[in-house]
A = this chain, B = another copy of it.
Amino acid sequence: MNVTEDLARFVVETPAEAIPGPVLHEGKRCLINFLGVALYAARDPSLDIMLDVFRHEGGRPNASVLGVGIRTSLQNAALANGYLGHLEDYDDTHFPTVIHPSSPTLPASLAAGEHYGSSGRELLAASVLGMEACCRIGMAVHPAHYDAGFHITSTCGVFGSVGAAGRLMGLSTGQMVHGMGVAGTQAAGVREVMGSMTKPFHPGMAARAGVLGALLAGRGFTSATRILEGRRGFAAVMSREHDLAEVTRGLGERWELRMNGLKPYACGVVAHPLIDAMIALRSRVGQPAGQVERVDARVQPLVLELMDRPDPKIGLEGKFSFQHSMAVGFIDGAAFPAQYTDARVVDPEVAALRGRIRAEVDGAMPEDAAEVTLTLKDGRSYTENVAHATGAPQNPITDSQLEAKFRALATHALPNRRAERLLAMLWDVDRLSGVGELMRLTRMPRSVARD
Contact = CB atoms under 8 A, between A and B. Distances in A.
Interface stretch (A217-225, A308-316, A410-418, A426-434): A217-225
Contact of A53 (B202, B215, B231): B215
A148 interface: yes
Contact of A182 (B151, B201, B215, B220): B201
A104 interface: no
A214 to B, nearest CB: 10
A400 interface: no
A60 interface: yes
Contacts of A325: none
Nearest to A220: B49
Interface string A185-217: 111111111101110011001000000100110
Interface in A32-89: 46, 49-50, 52-53, 56-60, 62, 73-75
B190 A188 contact: no
**Residue of A184, A193, A231 most packed against chain B (CB within 10 A):** A193
A76 to B, nearest CB: 8
A222 B196 contact: yes
B238 A223 contact: no
A86 to B, nearest CB: 14
A59 B59 contact: yes
A333 interface: no
A347 B72 CA distance: 51
Contacts of A74: 57
A231 to B, nearest CB: 7
B205 A186 contact: yes
Contacts of A143: none
A187 B209 CA distance: 13
A197 B223 CA distance: 6
Contact of A193 (B75, B205, B216, B223): B223
Given A185-B190, A192-B237, A198 B220 contact: no
Interface string A156-181: 00000000000000000000001001
Nearest to A154: B185
Contacts of A56: 60, 62, 215
A234 interface: yes
A17 B243 CA distance: 54
B181 A185 contact: no
A62, A188, A192, A196, most chain B CB atoms within 10 A:
A192
Contacts of A50: 216, 221
Contacts of A238: 190
Nearest to A233: B192
Scoring A178, A190, A230 by chain B CB atoms within 10 A of each residue's CB, the highest score goes to A190
A236 interface: yes
Contacts of A216: 49-50, 53, 201
A238 B232 CA distance: 14
Closest 9 CB pairs of A and B: A58-B60, A149-B237, A188-B188, A191-B232, A198-B223, A57-B73, A192-B230, A149-B232, A192-B233
27 contacts: A53-B216, A56-B60, A57-B59, A57-B60, A57-B62, A57-B74, A57-B215, A58-B62, A149-B232, A149-B233, A150-B237, A151-B185, A181-B196, A184-B190, A185-B188, A185-B193, A187-B188, A190-B234, A191-B237, A192-B234, A193-B223, A196-B223, A196-B224, A198-B221, A198-B223, A198-B224, A201-B216
